[in-house]
Structures are given as C-alpha cells and as structure tokens.
Amino acid sequence: MNVLFVYAHPEPKSLNGSLKDFSIKHLEDAGHVVQVSDLYAMNWKPSLDAGDTLATKTDTRFDPAKDSQHAFENGLQSEDIAREQEKLLWADTLILQFPLWWFSMPAILKGWVERVYAYGFAYGVGEHSDARWGDRYGEGTLAGKRAMLIVTAGGWESHYGPRGINGPMDHILFPIHHGILYYPGFDVLPPFVIYRTGRMDEARFSQTCDALGQRLDTLGNASPIPFRQQNAGAYAIPELVLRPEIAPDQCGFTAHVA
C-alpha cells in the first residue's frame, strides 16, 4: 500500500526520530511504498495567510476560507500546499507522528493541516443545503483511506486513564481523530501512544518497536474507531444532533462513537 508519513519533531536524534526511522524501514521492508513529509526538515511554513494563494492580489481583504476555495478551484494554490494534497490523494494510509505538546500536536503540524486542508479539498465538499450538510464525517475527498496517529507523551498512562488528571487520551485526541481525520473521510485506526517517555531505555525502546511493528503490520485490516457517519441516519439534519434514540444516555465525545 502507499503510506504517507507526516512527521513533526525538530530533532532527528530524538525518540521520535528513532521511532520514525524504525517505522519507515518496517513499512518498506513489508513492501509498502512510503512518502515522508518531515515538516521541520522541509522548513514547512505553518501559518495560513494571504501568501497561500498565487492569485493576483486585489485590495479586497484576505478571507482564509474564500481565498482558499478560489485558489483550490483555479489551480492557484501555493506549490507546497498542492504537493501535500497530491501526496494525500496518492496515499492509501496516512500516519501522523508527533510528540504531545500542550495536549495537542506541535504547531508546525497544525499548520500543515490548516494549509493543506483547503476549502473544496477537505471541507466545503458536497451538497450543502437544509437536507444535506456536505460530505464529511465519514465521507469526503479522503474517504476509503485509513489514518493512524503515533504519539509520544511525557505523562504516565494512568494520568491519561478514565479518571486520570489529564483527562482520557481518547478525549484529548478526539479533535484530531474526529475533527481532522474523520471529517474529510478517513477511517481512523486506534492510536499508538507511548507514555512516560522520560523513562525510555534500550530495552523499552526495543519492546516499543516490537509493539509498533505489530500495529504497522495491521494497518490494512485493523478495525477503525466506529465514529458515527453524519449522513447515515444517526443525526437529525440540519441540526446535526444525535437523534433521541441513539445513545440516549450519552453526551460529549463518547456519544459519537458507536
């Protein structure tokens, strides 16, 4: 399969750098074709701004969504954005690897999402009316592809447990899983999370690579997180609220997982 590996860590000799090198070699040894977007090495521009469109500037104000749509529809996107979109279309599977920084992804990776996920590419796709609110949450440009996060965290696994002080890791990753990956259509596989990174040594690194290799071996057939599709009947449209008979005792993030 074709795998796009998007990686965000500034130091090649870091734990993340070693895990990235292991993953790429493991995937290639298994016969997969891998493209890597190493965002710091690429000096990726993280901020979405007026420079993202090649359209002739007018004196009208910059509109992040409308200018993105115009550039996408008219082949006027900045080349770095168009290249990453081509990689996404090429890939069967997307892997995002990053250290958890302030309970989320590093800013450079958020900036990759903001700029590459153009209007018409990742959002604003499909019919938008009172009867249908676009192709998203299980449908969209990237439907049929799979995605998985590889995340390292300094905190302990218990800190991210159901009653841990940081909140459950599933909840912390929900905006990425559901809002960034499921939204444009990806089937989202459970994440591979490495906790307590300050306690890494050679023996644990070896065990971690064994476990990660097993997860990479099942990229093509592991069951995705069963998020509910927007347009499959669970949600009232256009309110986009779960129908009363669906998970009546649940609310918040967990209600959107079947």
Q: Where on the chain is the footprint of ligand FAD (CB under 6 A)?
A: 9, 14-16, 18, 99-103, 152-155, 197-198, 200-202, 205
How far is 177 from 93, CA to CA, in rounded Å?
14
Nearer to ligand FAD, 103 or 231 (CB): 103
**β-strands 187-188, 33-38 pairing:** unpaired
CB of 51 to ligand FAD, least distance (A): 27
Nearer to ligand FAD, 31 or 198 (CB): 198
Which residue type is seen at 211?
Answer: A
Find the helix or strand (DSSP H, E) in which 242 lies: strand 241-242
CB of 171 to ligand FAD, least distance (A): 13
3-state secondary structure of 119: strand
Nearer to ligand FAD, 102 or 249 (CB): 102
Nearer to ligand FAD, 59 or 201 (CB): 201
How far is 183 from 194, CA to CA, in rounded Å?
25
Q: Which runs of consecutive H residues, i.e. helices, occur in the chain?
A: 15-29, 64-73, 79-90, 107-116, 169-174, 202-217
CB of 199 to ligand FAD, least distance (A): 7
Q: Which two tokens stand for residue 136?
A: 């998203």
| Cβ–Cβ under 8 Å, residues 193 and 159 | no
Nearer to ligand FAD, 81 or 100 (CB): 100
CB of 146 to ligand FAD, least distance (A): 24
Q: CA–CA distance from 58 to each of 55, 61, 63, 189 (Å)? A: 9, 8, 12, 44
CB of 219 to ligand FAD, least distance (A): 22
CB-based contacts of 86, cutoff 8 Å, min separation 6: none
Nearer to ligand FAD, 2 or 104 (CB): 104
CB of 218 to ligand FAD, least distance (A): 23
CB-based contacts of 12, cutoff 8 Å, min separation 6: 41
